[in-house]
Structure 1
Amino acid sequence: MLTRQDLVNLLLDFIDVWIHQILYERDLYPAAIFSLKRKYDVPVHIAAHEGVASYVSEFVESLKPLVRQGNCKRIALKIIAPSNNRLLERFVFEIDSALRALDVPIDTVLDSEATCSLADVQQQLRACLLRMTATRSTLSSNPPDCTFTLTVETYSGPPQDQGRGSREDYHVDWIPSSSAQEGIEVAGEQQHRWNSLIPIKTIPMDLFKVNVFVMEAVKKGKHISR
C-alpha cells in the first residue's frame, strides 16, 4: 500500500535529486564533483563533494515539516550573476497541497492510502527529470562563476527553525507568500523582466499537485546591467 506519507517522502527525495541535477546542468560546480547515478530509471548527476551534498541534504531535511503540513508553496533555485548579483535564472518547484484545507488530523491523513500508484508517480517523476535535462539546449549559457541561492515560500510564514545552512556562502530564505507576489521576484529582490518562462512538468500526486518550470532573465552575461 502506498500511503500519503510515502508521497511526502517521494516528494522530498525528488526535490533533492532536482537540486543536484540543476547544479550539474547549469555548470554551477565542476562536472568532476558529480557522480553518475540512476534515479527513477533515469541517469542523474549527484554531487559527491561533501560540502555540497551536505548543504542540499540539510536544505531538503528542513522542508519536511512544511511539506507534511501542506505549508510549502514554492521552492526556487536562483542563479545569480557574479558581477552584479542580478538574477539570471529561477528554477521553480511549486507544490499545491490539499493538506492545509482538510479538517482532519495530519497524521491520520498521511497514514491513509494514496489514490495513485507508486508506478504512476515514478513515471511522472521520470518524465520530469528527462524534460529538465532538455532545458540545457533551451536556455542560453550563463557567465562563468555564477552563484546560487535556495528559497522557500510558505502559505503561513516561516517555521520556528529556519533551517539556515551551516556555511556562510549559502543561505536559505523563508519567504511568506502573498497573491501580489505570484510570478515575480519577492521580498528584497529586484523586480525585473524575464525573457521566458519554460514549463517543465506538472505532476499530479493524489493530494499534491506539483508544477515545475524555469524563468530566464531578459539579458545575461556581459549585457546585464543594474
Structure 2
Amino acid sequence: MSHPTWHCGKNGFFALRSRSMKSSQTVRHDIVNLLCDFLQVWIHQILYRRQLYPHGIFVLRKKYSVPVYMSNNPEVNQYIAQFVLTLRPMLEKGDCKSVSVVVTTATQRPLERFVLEIDSIIRTLDVPLDKLLASEATEPLADFEQYLRACLLKMAACDTILQRNPPHCRFWFSIEMTDEGPPSGQGTGPDVDWIPAEPDVSSDAFAWANLIPLKTIPMDLFKINTYVLEASKKGKQAALD
C-alpha cells in the first residue's frame, strides 16, 4: 500500500538547535538530534554535488571527520533548517517513513530522487515517548557517527555513477508519512505550508530506470536506508522534453 507524500513550502525560516552533550552517556534524544543534524548535511551534499546551486555558495568543512560542502548562503541554510525542524516531531513519534530530495528539469520532468528511508520501531514500543527518548541508547554517539561518515563517503562517489543533469534544474523536498493524511499538529503553522506531492514524482510509482543503493545505517531506534532513483532520460534529452 502506498502512502501519501507531502512538500514543505518555503514561506518562513527557523533555526535548528541541538543541545550539547553533558555527559558521555548517549540517550535516545541524542540519536534524534544526530539524525536531524545528518539530514541537513545530507541535503547540502545533494545540492552541491548535483549543482542545484552555484558551487560558489558552498564552503569545504568537516563533519563526522569527513570533508563536506556546506552552503554559506543564509537563506538556503535557513530553508534547509526549517524543513528539518518540521521533521523532528515526526521522527520522535515514528511518523515519518521517508525523506526525499527530488530533482527535476525546469519543466518539472523528474530526473533523480534521493531517498532517506526511515524504519522506526518507536510506534511498536509500549513506552511513554518522554521516557523512551530519555533512555540509554544501545551504542555511544561516536559509533553512530561512524555509520554516517561511511554514508557521506559513499555519496561523494555519486557524481561518477549518476548521469549529468541538464542546466537550470529545480528541486523540492518531500516526506512520506506512515499513516494516511497530512502532518497534523507536527511542525505545522503559519510558517509551514504542507501540500500533497505528485505521486508520480515523489514516490516509487514513477517508472525510475535505475536504483542506486548508497548505505544502510543502523541508528538504535531507526534503521536508515539511503539510495538514489534515476530517470532514463537525462542531460540535453531531458531538457528538450
TM-score, length-normalised on structure 2? 0.82
In 2, Cα distance between equivalents of 1:16 and 1:202: 18
Q: Which residue of structure 2 lines up, in the alignment, with residue 54 of structure 1?
A: 78
Deviation at 1:185, TM superposition (A): 4.3
Change over 3 Å in CA distance of 1:163–1:76 after alignment to 2: farther
The answer as to whether partners of 1:131 and 1:200 remain within 8 angstroms in 2 is: yes
Corresponding position: 1:133 with 2:147: no
Q: Which residue of structure 2 lines up, in the alignment, with residue 89 of structure 1?
A: 112
In 1, Cα distance between equivalents of 2:38 and 2:101: 14
Corresponding position: 1:208 with 2:222: yes
Residue aligned with 2:137, SS: coil
Match of 1:45 among 69, 87, 94: 69
Q: Which residue of structure 1 lines up, in the alignment, with residue 185 of structure 2?
A: 160
Corresponding position: 1:25 with 2:49: yes
Change over 3 Å in CA distance of 1:79–1:186 after alignment to 2: closer
Q: Which residue of structure 2 lines up, in the alignment, with residue 106 of structure 1?
A: 129
In 2, Cα distance between equivalents of 1:165 and 1:24: 30
In 2, Cα distance between equivalents of 1:5 and 1:39: 20
State the structure with bigger RCO (CA 8 A, min sep 6), 1 or 2: 2
Change over 3 Å in CA distance of 1:203–1:161 after alignment to 2: closer
Residue ranges of structure 1 left out of the alignment (5+ in a row)? 176-180
TM-score, length-normalised on structure 1? 0.87
The answer as to whether partners of 2:90 and 2:186 remain within 8 angstroms in 1 is: no
Q: Which runs of 4+ in 1 moved over 3 A?
A: 161-167, 171-175, 184-187
| Percent identity for Structure 1 against Structure 2 | 47
Across the two proteins, how many residue pairs are aligned to each other? 213
Deviation at 1:173, TM superposition (A): 4.7
Deviation at 1:72, TM superposition (A): 1.0
In 2, Cα distance between equivalents of 1:166 and 1:80: 25
Deviation at 1:42, TM superposition (A): 0.4
Deviation at 1:192, TM superposition (A): 3.6
Change over 3 Å in CA distance of 1:131–1:186 after alignment to 2: closer
The answer as to whether partners of 2:104 and 2:111 remain within 8 angstroms in 1 is: yes
Q: How does 1:109-120 map to 2 (within 5 A)?
A: 109-120=132-143
Residue ranges of structure 2 left out of the alignment (5+ in a row)? 1-24
CA-based RMSD of the aligned residues comes to 2.3
